[in-house]
Amino acid sequence: MKSSALKFLLAALALVVSCGFAAADDGFALHDGDVVVFLGDSLTAARTYGKYIENYTLLRYPDRKVTFINAGFGGDTAEGGLKRLEADVLAHKPSVVTVMYGTNDIGWGVYADEPHKQRYLAGVRGIVSACVERKIRVYLCSEPVTAADPNKSEDSFLQKMCDEGMELSKSLGGHAIDVQRSMREAQKRLWAANEGIKDASKRESMHVADGVHLNDLGQLAVAHAMLRGLGAPAEVSEATVDYTNAKASSKGCQIVDARRVDQTLEFTRIDDGLPFNYGTFFALHYRFVPVPQDLAKYMLTIKNLPAGRYDVLADGREVSVYSAKQLADGVNITFATTNGWVPGGPWNVQANALVHVTNARHEVLTSAFTTKHFLPQTKDDSAELAHIRPTLEQLEALQRDTARPRPYRFVIKPHVETDPKK
């Protein structure tokens, strides 16, 4: 390695360390040192929306050490959640608890009546009061939508019951996130896309066949609603470079060693945090759930490029091809790729790799949760947790290392059209 290149690399790495990935207080509710517990029924026990929220936090805020625990239990109700609050939630000494119940409380609609609503509200009251008393930040979430017509479900018993629950939470000093209405807006977009598709097997859905449990798209819609309710910002970072003089400005990142070499513009981008994504083809969900606009604006702007089309590369990876006008207006490169089968930029590679590490961590936690609840001799799970804690600590360290931003070397160069006949 040449001496000048080595000096640049060391300077760039020093800048990463010195900035500490510091992020301004942008209103996101999850802070460094928080322990977050997701409490709910089988929709929570699926451990899907929680992992989306976990990966968003790891990528966007690599300086914050936040621990996530899933306390979902299939078939549970608010009343049941209150009964197991001490063992499954408070035992973890959480600083944040999210609570999501409703469908089982009214027997999937069979018991949509006043007595069952009051049992739901009593459970909510008990959970929220217990959390507030312990100075735990608690968020009561409305239950996700069912597969019913979203244009007719606004006045459903489930929505109205959850509305009362959210108001009760706020009156007790807790918070509320209306997951159901947020999901309904996404569901309306989905239903509009399904119009005219006669083959039911080809229609999009947020649910599995029972119309209550959620597929990955439905779980993403829950995570989107909850992240927005937790104040998750849309902006990750912005990098702007002028082609004529290589001068740069930035927000949420640093631009170093910007230079022009003939018609090629090069610079290194060092981000405070990275954008959320969740694997190959996952961006297909964003037709209905607006993750790019609401949660993952990772922007690149190149001013004063001569007219034409340009290749954008990062660390040698092909990100995409853009026109000079597109780059001048600014492009969100979070999900950009020239090949749908592989991730585009290195930030996307990191996000995709993180999925597997997070899944591994939750497999270990699920094992402990399962033995605790279904093997009588392990009702006291303290020994079991102590046994797996070294593994969890190693996985958590690997999560943070995988999600940590690195210096990316960008190259913007004129695109050379290839002859499709060759």
The span from the CA of 183 to the CA of 189, in Å, is 10
CA atoms within 13 A on the CB side of 372: 17
Residue 401's alpha-carbon distances to 63, 394, 405, in angstroms, are 11, 11, 9
Q: What is the pLDDT of residues 402-415, one digit of tens each?
A: 999 999 999 999 99
Q: What is the pLDDT of residues 251-302, one digit of tens each?
A: 999 999 999 999 999 999 999 999 999 988 899 999 999 999 999 999 999 9
Q: How many helices (H) and strands (E) does the chain have?
A: 13, 14
Percentage of residues of the chain with pLDDT beyond 70: 91
Q: What is the pLDDT of residues 313-372, one digit of tens each?
A: 999 999 999 999 999 999 999 999 999 889 999 999 999 999 999 999 999 998 888 888
The span from the CA of 32 to the CA of 25, in Å, is 11
Q: What is the pLDDT of residues 104-121, one digit of tens each?
A: 999 999 999 999 999 999
Q: Please list, residue by residue across 93-108, b when 16 or more beta carbons sit within 10 angstroms of its beta carbon and e when fewer do.
A: ebbbbbbbbbbbbbee
For residue 4 the two structure tokens come to: 């000048």
The span from the CA of 86 to the CA of 105, in Å, is 20
The span from the CA of 189 to the CA of 217, in Å, is 13
Taken in order of first residue, the domains within the chain and their CATH numbers are 32-232 (3.40.50.1110), 235-422 (no CATH)
Query: How much is the pLDDT for 420?
Result: 56
Contact 254, 406 (CB under 8 A): no
For residue 389 the two structure tokens come to: 């804690």
The span from the CA of 292 to the CA of 235, in Å, is 9
Name beta bridge partners: 140.
Answer: 99, 176
